[in-house]
Amino acid sequence: MRILYLDLDTLRPDHLGCYGYCRNTSPNLDRIAAEGVVFDRYYTSDAPCLPSRSALMTGTFGIHNGAINHGGSNAEIRSEGPERDFQNTLSLDNLPAWLKMEAGLYPVYIGGFGERHSTFNYYAGFREIYDTGLGGVESAEDVTPTALRWIEQNAERDNWYLHVNYWDPHTPYRAPADFGNPFANDPLPAWLTENEIARQLCETVGPHGILDQDMYDDRVDPRYPRQPGKALNLNDARRVIDGYDCGVRYMDEHIGRLLDALKRKGVLDDLVIIASSDHGENLGELGMWSEHGTADHITCRIPMIFRWPGRLAAGQRNPGLHYNIDLLPTLAELLELPPRPKWEGRSYARGLLDGSGTGRSELILSQCCHGCQRAVRWDDWIYIRTYHDFYHLFDREMLFNVQDDPHEQRNLAADRPDLCREAKARYLDWLDEMMATQPDGYFWDPMWEIISEGGPYHARGHLKQYLRRLEDTGRAWAVPELKRRHPGEL
């Protein structure tokens, strides 16, 4: 058995052809999708990068594993304390460790994630690790040669798991200049209009906002000319969308090189391919640009494409609600192996095999690196509760119908208090269960520890500087409310 896992950072499903995107960003991923199963409502339990991959690899919610921030006490997997054995559970339960020990596969990683956040626990269980050396700022040309060498030397062996991590859709958008812009004449997404740009310029503030796309300012790094610092009109917005889409297409072309190499080695026809991401990317939604700093539908929804020739029927779509942490128990069921007791996901193997319904009734989504938000995703709805607004002046409660309003332009919380109450009841049921099953020695929700430490990593210590920025750029109207909301940070 051979498995290729394509770990494609910051990839929005709705910017892929197989999910209905109007631009030709993903011909190679679309080819994989046509030969497998595409999941339409697949989400990360915890966003963004470090929390999402910690959840994926351990099969546990961030509220339990503790890794929900990019700095501070909760940027690490929680210690097992006195219950730690001669080996910790990462050596047994982590995705590559489990594949190695239970499925008899030889796991290999190619990419740069561990060094980006010092998340070396992410590597637990791999037999070989090829660190591409740039901590997440590598482009596909820095990753593909190593992957092609490994394929050339090893693809014909049996029983391997190759995990390849591409970063190109991640900000700063950096497809090489000679790649050009294949989307220069393509229309923008229809929801991005001059009126929407004007509204955001007048009504929104916040890091990675429309005028502060370098997080807290509008500086442009000359190394990354595709990444603007602000958007004053639709032409500026086009630079953002085109920059992101060029990153997706550039990455997709390199994926095509891997597929061609695997075909030459004679292993593509029966190769299992899983393609997914850690999170999406807000490209104007909720007033956030070129970042993944919310617990919303756009940031937390991720693609999942699952190809298994001879086992899964081609061309299926799965409409169920699923988490990224559901992958581990799904693989266990498909491989007829027992799941680990600590995994918290739910297998969707039956849905892959026979199309039966395997989704959940709701998902609880978390973001605690930029702001602090928890969201409930159910039916056509997403309800977002904000505990720290990342200086965006988000309403405390936001409710969106993602079927009718996928770009989250109309907050319906005031119009539908009944649905807000329903969402809060769903959230509290989940929270009660999570708190009742905290690991030994932990009796608190790590989100509140983050707030008690001064706030999420990307907000902590920046408020005074940002208030000055707002005053200097004619947006002083927002200063009094930000001071009211965040008195402890002044």
The tokens of 5 are what?
């896992």
Has residue 234 got a pLDDT over 90? yes
Closest CA relative to residue 307, chosen from 248, 247, 252, 259 = 259
CA angle 293, 367, 213 (to 5 degrees): 5
* Peptide bond connecting 189 to the previous residue in cis, omega within 30 degrees of 0: no
The pLDDT-based confidence of 152 (bands split at 50, 70, 90) is: very high
Assign 136 a pLDDT band (cuts: 50, 70, 90). confident
Q: Are strands 106-111 and 289-291 parallel, antiparallel or unpaired?
A: unpaired
Mean pLDDT computed over 126-148? 94
| Residue linked to tokens 């595709």 | 226
Residue 482 buriedness (CB in 10 A; 0-12 / 13-18 / 19+) = buried
CA distance 446 to 457: 13
Residue 19: pLDDT band by 50, 70, 90 thresholds? very high
- CA 274 – CA 281 distance, rounded (Å): 20
Contacts for 370 with CB less than 8 Å, ≥ 6 apart = 48, 207, 208, 291, 293, 294, 390, 456, 458, 459
Sign of the dihedral defined by the CA atoms of residues 75, 126, 326, 436, in that order: negative
pTM greater than 0.85 (yes/no): yes
As given in the structure block, the two tokens for residue 156 are: 């014909």
Q: Which residue, among 216, 215, 227, has the nearest Cα to 169 in the 3D structure?
A: 227
pLDDT given at position 357:
74
pLDDT tens for 416-472 read: 999 999 999 999 999 999 999 999 999 999 999 999 999 999 999 999 999 999 999
Question: What is the per-residue pLDDT across 163-188, written as a single tens digit (0 to 9) for each?
Answer: 999 999 999 999 999 999 999 999 99
pLDDT score, position 137? 87
pLDDT (0 to 100) of residue 354: 87
How much of the chain, in percent, has pLDDT values that exceed 90?
96
- Structure tokens, 384: 């977002």
Dihedral sign, Cα of residue 314, residue 317, residue 320, residue 326: positive
Note the pLDDT of residue 482.
98
> Which tokens in the block code for residue 216?
């807290």
> Under a CB-based contact definition with an 8 Å cutoff, are residues 383 and 376 in contact?
yes
What is the pLDDT, as a whole number, of residue 40? 97
Token pair belonging to 284:
């104007």
The pLDDT value recorded for residue 355 is 81
Site of tokens 């005028």: 211
Contact assessment for residue 458 and residue 368, using Cβ atoms and an 8 Å cutoff: no
pLDDT at residue 166 in the model: 98
**What is d(CA 261, CA 100) in angstroms, rounded to the nearest whole number?**
24
Q: State the chain's mean pLDDT as an integer.
A: 97
CA distance 183 to 20: 16
- The pLDDT of 276-300, averaged and rounded, is 98
- The whole-number pLDDT of residue 420 equals 98
In the predicted model, what is the mean pLDDT of residues 180-202? 97
Residue 310 buriedness (CB in 10 A; 0-12 / 13-18 / 19+): exposed
* Percent of the chain residues past pLDDT 70, beyond the cut: 100
Name the percent of the chain in helix, strand, coil, to the closest 5.
40, 15, 45
What would the mean pLDDT of 336-364 be, rounded to a whole number?
93
268 pLDDT higher than 80: yes
Q: Name the pLDDT band for 374 (thresholds 50, 70, 90).
A: very high
Query: How does residue 346 score in pLDDT terms, banded at 50, 70 and 90?
Result: very high
Residue 83 reports pLDDT greater than 90? no
Check residue 59 and give left, alpha or beta (phi > 0: left; psi -120 to 50: alpha). left
Query: Secondary structure of 407-452 in the HEC alphabet?
Result: CCCCCCCCCCHHHHHHHHHHHHHHHHHHHHCCCCCCCCCHHHHHHH
Confidence of residue 1 (pLDDT cuts 50, 70, 90): very high
